[in-house]
Amino acid sequence: MRRALTAAATATALVLSTTACSLISDAEPVTITWWDTSDAKNEAPAFKALVKDFENTHPGIKVTYVNVPFTDAQTRFQTAAAAKKAPDVLRADVGWIPGFAKAGYLAPLDGTPAEPDDFYFDRKLIRQATYKEHLYGVPQTTDTLAFMYNKNLFTKAGIADTPVTWDDLKADMAKIKERTGADGFAFNPQAYFAMPFLFGEGTDLVDADYERITVNSPEAVKGIETLVSVLKAPGARKLDTTDKAYANIMNAFSNGKVASIIQGPWETANLFKGAAFADKENLGIAKIPGGSFGHGAPLGGHNLVASSTSSPAQQSASQKFIAFMTSASAQEKIALTNGTLPTRMDAFTAKVVFRPEIAAFHLVLKDGVPRQPIPEYTALYAAMEPNLVNILTGRVTAQQGLKKTSDQALQLLPDYRTS
């Protein structure tokens, strides 16, 4: 069942589609440009192969493939779109959709060949591709955070089950340190990785439905105080606040010096290169420990979006390309090659779920919490990060640090009220 669409929008989409299709069939082949923001070394080859498959099945469409580093892509697309020189299709982080759509850079995909079928796609993923009731992207890959652990170290420490609560984790960390010498847990001090502590108390950075800033709510303070207590507990690895913290933590975990971390599926391929996980079966993946409200982790991923400044013919070709790249067969190929998570249920085939790391992340996806549908949400992470480091290093209390984050959030969202 297709998503609902207003009559006016449907009529517009049909006119554009009909006009563009006639241009493709009656004129010379159409060329579209795709900016792929996947990892150039580990992921891009699989996408390049799919581009060739698409061109073979759509001889009237030529795709110019460009790999753009993910860290530069958001700014580069904004600059190009403002100059009306944007690529026809972009692989966009889910957090970019509201801002790009609000600025008018994206073409709505409602009622086009690209629109996903609700039967196959999780509604939470569609929500992250929607802004003000219009669809602006199609989910291509998804991800969330999970509790990753070294099974051998847990077994040596006499731990049979993964921690369900943060208190369970504290007890496990102490046993692991005492019985194996390895650190029980390491935390990357970035706001994104702290979100499970907020979700575990039933709160978020903001509540867009009620236009309320909640990052300094009592629930949020409790969540971050829990994080502080975990990192102070015996067995926790000393907090790394250097620019290389992420890489240092991943290196320590992949080499067996740390027993557990919070991480996403994008790192599994790299972890399997480490000494601790040469045997892939040694990597455990489970849901993140929960708080008093329950379990939760940020739901991420990438959507394919189309530029609003492309010609009608290019928009029609882009819609076909997006539909192809997000099809079940395409997503299956990407999952098997890159180890990433599909966004549609029928792409979780027997071959895909046979890979234990994908099967494990598939199970924890149900705890994924979609991002709030506001353009400023990603900027809230940036506002929180330095304050989080100050909290975790003891320079300020959780209440003080989150109050400052709330004040900064109010500058981004002046119409919102604070807790």
Structure tokens at 192: 């994104």
Predicted confidence at residue 15, as pLDDT, reads 37
Q: Within 13 Å and on the Cβ side, how many CA atoms surround 285? A: 25
Cβ atoms of 318 and 17 closer than 8 Å = no
d(CA 217, CA 368): 21
The full set of domains in the chain, from first to last, is 7-143+299-369 (3.40.190.10), 146-298+373-418 (3.40.190.10)
d(CA 274, CA 256): 9
Cβ atoms of 362 and 268 closer than 8 Å = no
Predicted confidence at residue 419, as pLDDT, reads 77
Predicted confidence at residue 27, as pLDDT, reads 57
Predicted confidence at residue 269, as pLDDT, reads 87
Rounded (5°) CA angle 103-109-111: 140
Pairing of strands 206-207, 212-213: antiparallel
Predicted confidence at residue 126, as pLDDT, reads 95
Cβ atoms of 380 and 409 closer than 8 Å = yes
pLDDT by residue, tens only, the chain of 419 residues? 343 333 333 333 433 343 344 334 445 799 999 999 999 998 999 999 999 999 999 999 999 999 999 999 999 999 999 999 999 999 999 999 999 999 999 999 999 999 998 899 989 999 999 999 999 999 999 999 999 999 999 999 999 999 999 999 999 999 999 999 999 999 999 999 999 999 999 999 999 999 999 999 999 999 999 999 999 999 999 999 999 999 999 999 999 999 999 999 999 988 999 999 999 999 999 999 999 999 999 999 999 999 999 999 999 999 999 999 999 999 999 999 998 999 999 999 999 999 999 999 999 999 999 999 999 999 999 999 999 999 999 999 999 999 999 999 999 999 999 97
Please tell me the pTM assigned to this model. 0.88
Predicted confidence at residue 210, as pLDDT, reads 96
| Residue labelled with tokens 């076909």 | 320
Predicted confidence at residue 256, as pLDDT, reads 98
DSSP calls for 162-224: --SBHHHHHHHHHHHHHHHSSBSB-----HHHHHHHHHTTT--SEEGGGTEE-TTSHHHHHHH
Predicted confidence at residue 19, as pLDDT, reads 38
